[in-house]
Chain A
Amino acid sequence: MPFDPQWLEASFPDLRDLTLIGRGGQKEVLRGQSITAGDTVVLKLCHLGSDRQRILREISAAQQLASSHVPNIVGYGEANSPVGQIIWLIEEYVEGQSLRGVLGDGPLPPADVAVVAMGVLDALVSAEAAHVVHRDIKPENIILRTDGEIFLVDFGIARHLDLASMTPSSAAVGPCTPGYSPPEQFQNLKHDIDGRADLFALGVTLYESATGSNPYLAGTAEARAVLDRVQSTPLPPVPPTAGLPDRFVGLIWAMTRLRRNHRPRTANECREWLREALAETA
């Protein structure tokens, strides 16, 4: 849905030099400068689904997250665009590379896996306090800023925008990212989706960061096959060749259990666990 530059200029007069940096499915992402603040910001534009109130509620909650690992949401709202009713969101721009891009060069060293884990867990601890579930943690949504800080992006809107619906006509399969989302999410067990869904997805992401591959995605691009794998096969422990401390391996193993009751209860518990693992190594 390409947006008309004139409409953009008229609708967001405080932004200049808007440049398209991403497009997919329901949304467009542009980078620009805030004239009043002088900062580089990101403008996200996306179609409204049927969950308008819920999207706004969740963005509002995400705006309250007290985490230095989540980009600040500067503002958000609704607009009537040439392509229909949309929602817009302006947030802090994070200069860096996505974890997906970094993993293109191979697995991360153990210390860097720990940095990613700690950064995202810090963000999830804040999310728990605000009763927000990200629902789409994956390497694409984790940014390694140029100074090494970790950011988890798209809080509050991920579930509404980026998640692929396997069979839109059927409620039996919920919006998910195959290979990262836990069974309760793609089985569309809405009442069972809580913070432990994010822990599963982060666990898979950390496994991939440590080993360089996601076993659920290896050798197939067929979504249904991936979901079948996730549903039937828990991830094995991270192999010793990855060099992670045993306790860290245990944490990733626990986070990736197929049933949420088998995972740690909270992100805070995971963060404590990770600290213990790192302290033991030190």
Chain B
Amino acid sequence: MELYLQFGWQMTPTCLRLLGEWGAGTVILSPRDLDPPHLADAAERIRAAGGKVLVDPQLYTPHETNFRLSKHSFWPGCTGVCDVSALEWGKTTRELRRLNTSLGAHMQLLPGVICSRPEDLAGWRTQLLRVAEADDSKPADSLMTVAVGHQAMADTDTVHAILDALDETPYRNFYVVPEYPPGSFFVADPWWLSNLLDLAAGCALGKGTVVVGYCAQQMLVLAASGVTAVASGTFQNLRQFGLQRFRNPESDTKQRAKWYYSPPALSEYKVTYLDVAARRGVLQTLHPGPGFPTTTAERLFTAPAPMSAPFSYPDAYEHFLICLRHQAMNATLSTFSVTVAALEQELDTALQVADSAAYAGVRGEHKQFGPGAHAASMSALAALRADRMPILSRAWPELPVEKSM
């Protein structure tokens, strides 16, 4: 499974550094964070660095005015609250096609309004089919956006109705954008997570490209669904999708915090807690371990005290993304069963490592992997196995995702 970079506020330097290190990669550009000239500039620089570009049109709630998105030519011309059903998708998709061509995007992300609640399903389906009808590009060259609100995602009937609706379209490539349950960094709702895995697997079984956007480390379990890639970014709002980001002119910078990501614990810790870990003799348990690429976070483990080591915000973000990419690339294995077993092992280990560290006083606050997230993740994997194991096992060799041996 690949890791795509989910672009966010002031993220161009990070993208360029990571692409330079990786030699390749895909960046999902965010018009919300880049006005038209900067969007063109970022795309050009990313492509020059060897990266591929996708453009998320972010038309999740096109009936609401967004102060940044509305600067783009593809944004519907209505102001204030306007009627979604009256949107002219033909004009929008034409504008988006023009934009994608000018930015050199290697595939086109088609717009998709969000299905927020189960009762929104009929309206959502109507818009999905209208977009499909308006789009005159080749389906093989596009990914259809499937944005699902947290209430809809927690409802199994709704998720299956969404799969039914997607079957009515000619598309087999999907960009899934799940809205997270409010107030949770890790998801402890087994239904939400299980339905996401099921939705992703249903999409992946079409054997096209399936990308799940806005992912944090817990979403590594999506490897079991056979998805092509997960996308993640620097700030928390790029690792968890929420509509708030598209509604208010929030300041992204105020959400900054410097966290160290510990891959074996699937948890993040403020650096001051690494000092506690060093003092309690458990610091090495939070080290990425052998096989991971070396990052600037290595300084935290070699300095007399982690707090004394130079470790900037960009260092923290890049360490997170480098490690998450390594985990993602090693998450999809040769068969479905082996992949699920390895993920279960990884989850068990993470809970054990995070618990042991917490016992020693090393706390990750809301970013510490805990029993709730562990239980929901294990439950979702078990449900996926019960519902789809034979079909996924058979389709596994044909899914367009890199498998690690």
Which of A234, A250, A261 is most buried by chain B, counting CB atoms within 10 A of its CB?
Answer: A261
**For the complex, what is the distance from the CA of A50 to the CA of B332, rounded to whole Å?**
54
Q: In the complex, what's the smallest C-beta–C-beta distance from B383 to chain A, in angstroms?
A: 10
Tell me if A254 and B390 are in contact (CB < 8 A).
yes
Q: Is the interface of A mostly helix, strand, loop or mixed?
A: helix
User: Chain B contacts of A192 at CB under 8 A?
Assistant: 164
Tell me if A257 and B394 are in contact (CB < 8 A).
no
Interface 1/0s, chain B 232-257, versus A by CB < 8 A?
A: 00000000000000000000000000
User: Chain A contacts of B394 at CB under 8 A?
Assistant: 247, 250, 273, 276
Tell me if A251 and B387 are in contact (CB < 8 A).
no
User: Chain B contacts of A16 at CB under 8 A?
Assistant: none
Tell me if A251 and B160 are in contact (CB < 8 A).
no
Tell me if B388 and A250 are in contact (CB < 8 A).
no
Tell me if B393 and A262 are in contact (CB < 8 A).
no
Which of A192, A253, A254, A273 is most buried by chain B, counting CB atoms within 10 A of its CB?
Answer: A254
Q: In the complex, what's the smallest C-beta–C-beta distance from A50 to chain B, in angstroms?
A: 28
User: Chain A contacts of B386 at CB under 8 A?
Assistant: 234
Tell me if A261 and B390 are in contact (CB < 8 A).
no
Query: What is the chain B residue whose CB lies nearest that of A263?
Result: B391
Interface size class of B (residues with CB under 8 A): 10 to 19
Q: Does any Cβ of A come within 8 Å of B39's Cβ?
A: no
Q: In the complex, what's the smallest C-beta–C-beta distance from A243 to chain B, in angstroms?
A: 18
User: Chain A contacts of B388 at CB under 8 A?
Assistant: 257, 262
Q: Does any Cβ of B come within 8 Å of A71's Cβ?
A: no
Q: Does any Cβ of A come within 8 Å of B163's Cβ?
A: yes
Q: Is the interface of B mostly helix, strand, loop or mixed?
A: helix
Tell me if B390 and A250 are in contact (CB < 8 A).
yes
User: Chain B contacts of A131 at CB under 8 A?
Assistant: none
Among A252-267, those with CB < 8 Å from B are 253-254, 257, 259, 261-264
- Residue in contact with A261 in the complex, picked from B160, B389, B393, CB distance below 8 Å: B160
Q: In the complex, what's the smallest C-beta–C-beta distance from A282 to chain B, in angstroms?
A: 18
Interchain pairs with CB closer than 8 A, number: 27
Tell me if A261 and B391 are in contact (CB < 8 A).
no
Q: Does any Cβ of A come within 8 Å of B202's Cβ?
A: yes
Tell me if B393 and A259 are in contact (CB < 8 A).
no
User: Chain B contacts of A251 at CB under 8 A?
Assistant: 390
Interface 1/0s, chain B 378-405, versus A by CB < 8 A?
A: 0000000011111101100000000000
Among A231-246, those with CB < 8 Å from B are 234
User: Chain B contacts of A257 at CB under 8 A?
Assistant: 387-388
**For the complex, what is the distance from the CA of A264 to the CA of B393, rounded to whole Å?**
12
Tell me if A254 and B391 are in contact (CB < 8 A).
yes
**For the complex, what is the distance from the CA of A276 to the CA of B390, rounded to whole Å?**
13
Q: In the complex, what's the smallest C-beta–C-beta distance from B335 to chain A, in angstroms?
A: 12
User: Chain A contacts of B163 at CB under 8 A?
Assistant: 261
Among A261-282, those with CB < 8 Å from B are 261-264, 273, 276
**For the complex, what is the distance from the CA of A257 to the CA of B387, rounded to whole Å?**
7
**For the complex, what is the distance from the CA of A263 to the CA of B388, rounded to whole Å?**
8
- Residue in contact with B391 in the complex, picked from A234, A264, A276, CB distance below 8 Å: A264
Query: What is the chain B residue whose CB lies nearest that of A251?
Result: B390
Q: In the complex, what's the smallest C-beta–C-beta distance from A215 to chain B, in angstroms?
A: 16
Tell me if B391 and A259 are in contact (CB < 8 A).
no
Which of B387, B388, B390, B393 is most buried by chain A, counting CB atoms within 10 A of its CB?
Answer: B390
User: Chain B contacts of A276 at CB under 8 A?
Assistant: 394
Interface 1/0s, chain A 184-214, versus B by CB < 8 A?
A: 0000000010000000000000000000000
**For the complex, what is the distance from the CA of A276 to the CA of B394, rounded to whole Å?**
10
Query: What is the chain A residue whose CB lies nearest that of B393?
Result: A250
Query: What is the chain B residue whose CB lies nearest that of A192?
Result: B164
Q: In the complex, what's the smallest C-beta–C-beta distance from B152 to chain A, in angstroms?
A: 16
**For the complex, what is the distance from the CA of A262 to the CA of B387, rounded to whole Å?**
6
User: Chain B contacts of A250 at CB under 8 A?
Assistant: 389-390, 393-394
Query: What is the chain B residue whose CB lies nearest that of A253?
Result: B390
Query: What is the chain B residue whose CB lies nearest that of A276?
Result: B394
Query: What is the chain B residue whose CB lies nearest that of A262?
Result: B387
Which of B387, B389, B391 is most buried by chain A, counting CB atoms within 10 A of its CB?
Answer: B391
User: Chain A contacts of B389 at CB under 8 A?
Assistant: 250, 253
Query: What is the chain A residue whose CB lies nearest that of B160?
Result: A261
User: Chain A contacts of B202 at CB under 8 A?
Assistant: 261
**For the complex, what is the distance from the CA of A250 to the CA of B394, rounded to whole Å?**
9
Among B143-176, those with CB < 8 Å from A are 160, 163-164
Which of A262, A273, A276 is most buried by chain B, counting CB atoms within 10 A of its CB?
Answer: A262
Query: What is the chain A residue whose CB lies nearest that of B163?
Result: A261
User: Chain B contacts of A261 at CB under 8 A?
Assistant: 160, 163-164, 202
User: Chain A contacts of B391 at CB under 8 A?
Assistant: 254, 262-264
**For the complex, what is the distance from the CA of A192 to the CA of B202, rounded to whole Å?**
16
**For the complex, what is the distance from the CA of A185 to the CA of B289, rounded to whole Å?**
53
User: Chain B contacts of A247 at CB under 8 A?
Assistant: 394
Q: In the complex, what's the smallest C-beta–C-beta distance from B391 to chain A, in angstroms?
A: 5
**For the complex, what is the distance from the CA of A21 to the CA of B98, rounded to whole Å?**
70
Interface 1/0s, chain A 136-150, versus B by CB < 8 A?
A: 000000000000000
Q: In the complex, what's the smallest C-beta–C-beta distance from A109 to chain B, in angstroms?
A: 22
**For the complex, what is the distance from the CA of A11 to the CA of B192, rounded to whole Å?**
62
User: Chain B contacts of A253 at CB under 8 A?
Assistant: 389-390
Q: In the complex, what's the smallest C-beta–C-beta distance from B151 to chain A, in angstroms?
A: 20
Q: What are 27 A-B contacts with C-beta separation under 8 Å?
A: A192-B164, A234-B386, A247-B394, A250-B389, A250-B390, A250-B393, A250-B394, A251-B390, A253-B389, A253-B390, A254-B390, A254-B391, A257-B387, A257-B388, A259-B160, A259-B387, A261-B160, A261-B163, A261-B164, A261-B202, A262-B387, A262-B388, A262-B391, A263-B391, A264-B391, A273-B394, A276-B394
- Can you add 18 more A-B contacts, CB < 8 Å, to A250-B389, A261-B163, A262-B391? A192-B164, A234-B386, A250-B390, A250-B393, A250-B394, A254-B390, A254-B391, A257-B387, A257-B388, A259-B160, A259-B387, A261-B164, A261-B202, A262-B387, A262-B388, A263-B391, A273-B394, A276-B394
**Interface residues, chain B, CB within 8 Å of chain A?**
160, 163-164, 202, 386-391, 393-394
Q: Closest 8 A-B residue pairs measured CB to CB?
A: A250-B390, A254-B390, A262-B387, A261-B163, A253-B390, A254-B391, A261-B160, A261-B202
